[in-house]
Amino acid sequence: MLKLFSRHPLLFALLAGATASAASAADNLRLAISGGNPTLRNNVRHHLDLGRLPCTIGELQLGTALAGADEAISAALRALGHYHGSWTLSHERVPGRIGNDDCWRVAVHLEPGQPTLLTRVAISLTGNTGDNDGDLLAVIPGLPLKEGTVVNHGHYEDSKRQLRQRALAVGYFSSTLSHSVLAVDTLDHSASAELVLDTGPRYRFGAVNYGDTGFDQDFLARYQTFASGDYYDTGKLIAFQNNLINSQYFSTVSVDQGEPDPDSTTVDLNLELVPKTRYESIVGAGYSTDIGPRISYRLHDRRFNSRGDTYQLSSQYAPVQSNLGFQFQQPGRDPVKEKTLWLLGIQDEDTDSAESTSYKAEVAVVNVLDNGWVQTHSLTLLNEKFRVADDTNTSLLLYPGIGWTRSRANDPRYPTRGWRLGASVKGGLEDLLSNTSFAQATTDAKIILPLGGGRLIGRSGLGTTAVRDFARLPASLRFFAGGDNSVRGFAYESLGPRDGDDKVVGGKHQITASVEYDRLVYRDFGLAAFYDTGTAFDTNQFTLYESVGLGVRWFSPIGPIRVDLAFPLDDGGFRVHLSMGPDL
C-alpha cells in the first residue's frame, strides 16, 4: 500500500490531511522556523499547519499547500502585536531520515519588526449594582489585558471571556458586553483596548429544595455556605455541594440550578440526594509484630435519626491487645467543622512489660479551625486495673484534655512530599474523682521529602509527665519505647526504666526519632533503609537505644505493607517487624 501511495502523491496528501493515522504512515515534511521569539515561532507553526504533509508529496501539491502561507504568517505575527513583520519562505529537498527517501524541508525566517504596545486599557462596568460590586471588580486586575504590554489578540479575547464568565459566576445572568474595541495605530506602533460590561441586576439565591431524604431540612441547611436571599455565587454553590458529598450521608449529590427569574431576580436550587445504605458492616483481619494476628469487626449506622446522628460499634481481638468500643457522633452547628463524640470502651492489653484492663468513658468536641488545625477538647473518665512488673494497682482518673493535629500530603497513597504534626495536653487532680494528680504533654511529627528519586522520611516523638504518685499512674498513661512504630529492633514496649528485678516499669518521659529512606524499585514495591533511636525514662540521665535496618515496602491497594529487618546497635541480634498503615 505504501508503494501505491508513493505513485500517487496527491492521493496521499489528501489522505494525510484528513487523518493523523495516514500521516504517521510515512515520514512527514520538515518545517524549520527561525527568528523571533519562541512564542512567535510556535504561533507561526500553528497557523501554517504544514507538519501533517508527507515527504512524498509532489512539488505541485506542495506549491498549492504553500499558496496561503504568506497570509497565515502575517496573521500569526499580527495576532501577537507585530504588524510590520517580514519573512522569507523557501523549500527544498533534503536527505531523509535513516531508511527513508528524501524529504521536503520548508524554511521560514522571521523579521518581526517593532512590536505594537497597548498604551491604554479601559475596562468598566455599568448596570444596576455592577459598577459598585467588589466581587466583580476584583477580576479586572487579573485580566491579561494590561497597559505597556505587547498587543496580543488572544489576551483581548480571553479578557472578554473571563469578564463575562465572572459576571455569570456571581449572579449577573443578563450581563452583556455593550462595548468592546481593540484599536491599533500601525503607524505609531500603539493600541488601545476598551471593554464595557453592562451587568444588569445581580441575582440572589432563592429557595433550596432538598426533596425527601430522611433528614430534617433544618439539619441539611447547616451544610449551606449561603442563605436564601444572599447574592448568587458559583463558588459558594460548589462548596455547598462538596459539603454534602463529604458528609458521607449520600451516595449521589446533584444540584439542579433553576432558570433565573427576572421578576424576583432569584435562582432556585433543586437537589437530588440519594442516601447511602443505613448500615455498614466490616470484618477485617491483619497482623503486626507488635500485637500479633488480629481480627476486627465494625458496625456503622449512618442514619440513627433525622438530625444526622450516627453511631459505631467496633471490636478487635489480638493476643496482645483486644478491645470493644461504642462511639456516638453528633454533628455541630457547622457540621463540616464541628462534631461531638460520646465514647465508651473496654480494652485488655498484655505485653511483656505490663497487663491492664481499662474501662473508659469520654466526651470529645472536635473543631476544624480556620487555619486548618483540628482541635479536640475532651473529658475522660478512666478506670484501669494494671500490673507492671510485680506491682498490681487500680486507678481511677478524671481528666480534661486538649489536642491539635494537622497533616498535608501531595498523594494519599504514596506521598513524596508531606507532613503531620500533633500535640496534646491532659491532666487530672487528686480528690476530683482521681487517685492522683498528674499532667502530661505529648508531641509527634513526621515529614516526607523527595530525595534522589525516592523519599526521605523523618519521624519524632516527645512526651513528659508530672505525677504525684507514679505507682497510681495507669500503664496506659506511662511511656514505653520499642516496637514497629517506635524503636525497631526491640520488642513492643520493652524499653524504659526498670525496677530492682530488671523489669520494665514504664517512664514519665519519652523521646523517639527515626530517619528512613525508601525508593520504588519495581512497580509498587520498594526498598528502605532506616535508623531509629529513643527510650522512655524518669530522670535526665538516660540511655538512648539505637538500631539500623533494611526493609521491603509494598504499596498495596489496601495501604502500605512494611517488612523490616532491624539490628540493635548495642545488644546485637536482629528483629523482624511487619506492619501496615498510611505514611501520614
Reported as type and span, the H/E element at residue 23 is helix 20-23
Handedness of CA 63, 45, 193, 203 (dihedral sign): positive
Pair 385, 519 in one domain: yes
Pair 69, 138 in one domain: no
Q: In what order do the strands lie in the sheet with 30-34?
A: 30-34, 103-111, 86-94
Global model pTM greater than 0.85 = no
Pair 452, 509 in one domain: yes
Residue 98: pLDDT band (50, 70, 90) is: low
Pair 102, 126 in one domain: no
Identify the residue whose cell numbers are 445581580: 202
pLDDT at position 238 is 95
Average pLDDT (43-69) is 90
Handedness of CA 570, 572, 577, 583 (dihedral sign): positive
Pair 396, 429 in one domain: yes
Pair 402, 426 in one domain: yes
pLDDT at position 282 is 96
Identify the residue whose cell numbers are 504525684: 468
Q: Is the pLDDT of residue 23 over 80?
A: no
The type of residue at 266 is T
- CATH number of the structural domain spanning residue 106: 3.10.20.310
390's grid cell: 510485680
pLDDT at position 10 is 41
Pair 396, 254 in one domain: no
Pair 327, 368 in one domain: yes
pLDDT at position 11 is 38
Residue 296: pLDDT band (50, 70, 90) is: very high
- At 391-445, the pLDDT tens digits run 899 999 999 999 999 999 999 889 999 999 999 999 999 989 999 999 999 999 9
Q: Of 198, 226, 255, which residue constitutes the final position of a domain?
A: 198
- At 522-540, the pLDDT tens digits run 999 999 999 999 999 998 8
- At 251-284, the pLDDT tens digits run 999 999 999 999 999 999 999 999 999 999 999 9
Q: Of 92, 111, 130, which residue constitutes the final position of a domain?
A: 111
Q: How many domains does the chain have?
A: 4
Q: Of 111, 133, 165, which residue constitutes the final position of a domain?
A: 111
Pair 402, 535 in one domain: yes
pLDDT at position 129 is 63
- CATH number of the structural domain spanning residue 348: 2.40.160.50
Average pLDDT (319-336) is 96
- At 128-157, the pLDDT tens digits run 766 677 888 889 999 999 999 999 999 999
Pair 287, 410 in one domain: yes
Pair 85, 146 in one domain: no
- At 467-506, the pLDDT tens digits run 999 999 999 999 999 999 999 999 999 999 998 888 999 9
Pair 371, 391 in one domain: yes
| Higher pLDDT pick, 103 / 208 | 208
Q: Specify whether the CB–CB gap between 5 and 27 falls below 8 A.
A: no
Residue 384: pLDDT band (50, 70, 90) is: very high
Domain membership of residue 194 as a residue range: 117-198
Q: Bridge-partner residues for 380, per DSSP?
A: 362, 399
Q: Specify whether the CB–CB gap between 479 and 509 falls below 8 A.
A: yes
Look up residue 4 and give its DSSP letter. H
> Could you tell me which residues come within 8 angstroms of residue 49 by beta carbon, excluding any fewer than 6 positions away?
none
